[in-house]
């Protein structure tokens, strides 16, 4: 388990997980993601905002690829309480260029949903995407990946039927430290949720899982990935540091058709 932040002043506890404040130019990077995502949605022949449940955000996007190919399914981050799948459509660019199908799944945010509800929604979304993949001529195999909070949801979605491998990008794998930060105002994590929804506190799933992080990320984010990779020692996947990448720029290594993150995931197709 990760060390407690309890001994630190509240301001330092909050700063330890505040990625937006830690990355100069983060607003410009997010604006660039929005623009690239809008451009991809305009030119790609995708099935946008397909419903997998009745709630407002229970939607997914699907971009068909080559016949018989697996589907890269991306889960967005935002500490389970911010962001939207539409802002990250650009990550599908690399997968589509290499013949994969690509999809993104949305989910209800905290505090409107508990973390357990979010996990269940995402699993429901994975099943809906798999059904769509089969209908679109794909193999039905899912290469599951997620960023930040999406990395956490990816680790908890690895067990789903049809998921072949996972890639956690800058993920959160032990929830306990978040209880001591500003993030818990919306999350309201219970001791039971920390124990049952922290991938680091659960037995490893016996499928490949790559744990990636940027070497320019906050130390706490790097430690989350490093400790989780150790937890999974002996299972396929491993630790993948992305040199020079911060919490936001690391996504370019997935969106680039020859990016290191996409290459790593393609090894398990």
Evaluate whether 263 touches 253 at the Cβ level (below 8 Å).
no
Please count the CA atoms within 13 angstroms of the CA of 261 that sit on its side-chain side: 33
Rg, the chain, Cα only: 17
Report residue 134's pLDDT band, with 50, 70 and 90 as the boundaries: very high
Evaluate whether 143 touches 72 at the Cβ level (below 8 Å).
yes
CATH for 218: 3.40.50.1820
Look-up: residue for tokens 């389970």? Answer: 80
Residue 126, pLDDT above cutoff 90: yes
Look-up: residue for tokens 């905290």? Answer: 110
**Domain-located, residue 50:** yes
**Domain-located, residue 199:** yes
pLDDT in tens, 30-75: 999 999 999 999 999 899 999 999 999 999 999 999 999 999 999 9
What would the two tokens of residue 176 be?
């306990």
**Domain-located, residue 222:** yes
* pLDDT value of position 71: 98
**Domain-located, residue 100:** yes
According to DSSP, the β-strands at 163-169 and 142-147 are: parallel
Report residue 8's pLDDT band, with 50, 70 and 90 as the boundaries: confident
Query: For the stretch 94-108, what's the b/e string if a residue is b when 16 or more beta carbons lie within 10 angstroms of its beta carbon?
Result: bbbebebbbbbbbbb
d(CA 170, CA 44): 27
**Domain-located, residue 3:** no
d(CA 252, CA 32): 11
Residue 138, pLDDT above cutoff 80: yes
- The number of beta carbons lying within 10 Å of the beta carbon of residue 192 is 9
**Domain-located, residue 22:** yes
- What is the extent of the structural domain holding 156? 10-266
* pLDDT value of position 9: 86
**Domain-located, residue 4:** no
Task: Please calculate the CA angle 240-242-246 and round it to the nearest 5 degrees.
Answer: 130
Residue 4, pLDDT above cutoff 70: no
In 3D, which of 142, 141, 102 has the Cα closest to residue 257?
102
Q: Span 246-254, mean pLDDT?
A: 97
Q: Span 109-119, mean pLDDT?
A: 98
**Domain-located, residue 2:** no
* pLDDT value of position 60: 99
% helix, strand, coil for the chain, step of 5: 45, 15, 40
How would you list the strands of the sheet with 59-63, edge to edge?
47-51, 59-63, 101-105, 71-75, 142-147, 163-169, 209-214, 237-242
Tally of domains in the chain: 1
pLDDT in tens, 160-195: 999 999 999 999 999 999 999 999 999 999 999 999
d(CA 33, CA 170): 17
């Amino acid at each position: 388990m990760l060390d407690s932040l309890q001994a630190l002043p509240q301001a330092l506890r909050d700063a330890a997980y505040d990625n937006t404040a830690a990355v100069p130019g983060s607003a410009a990077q997010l604006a660039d993601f929005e623009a690239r995502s809008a451009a991809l949605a305009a030119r790609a022949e995708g099935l946008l905002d397909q419903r997998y449940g009745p709630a407002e955000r229970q939607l997914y996007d699907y971009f068909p690829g080559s016949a018989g190919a697996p589907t890269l399914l991306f889960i967005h981050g935002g500490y389970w309480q911010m962001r939207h799948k539409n802002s990250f459509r650009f990550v599908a660019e690399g997968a589509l260029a290499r013949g994969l199908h690509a999809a993104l799944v949305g989910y209800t945010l905290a505090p409107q949903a508990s973390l357990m509800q979010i996990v269940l929604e995402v699993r429901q979304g994975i099943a809906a995407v798999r059904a769509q993949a089969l209908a679109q001529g794909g193999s039905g195999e899912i290469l599951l990946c997620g960023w930040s909070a999406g990395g956490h949801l990816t680790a908890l979605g690895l067990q789903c039927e049809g998921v072949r491998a996972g890639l956690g990008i800058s993920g959160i794998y032990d929830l306990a430290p978040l209880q001591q930060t500003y993030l818990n105002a919306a999350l309201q994590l219970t001791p039971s949720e920390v124990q049952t929804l922290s991938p680091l506190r659960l037995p490893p799933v016996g499928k490949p899982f790559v744990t990636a992080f940027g070497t320019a990320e906050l130390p706490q984010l790097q430690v989350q990935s490093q400790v989780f990779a150790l937890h999974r020692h002996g299972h396929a996947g491993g630790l993948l540091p992305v040199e020079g990448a911060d919490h936001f720029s690391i996504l370019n290594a997935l969106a680039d058709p020859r990016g290191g993150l996409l290459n790593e995931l393609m090894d398990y197709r």
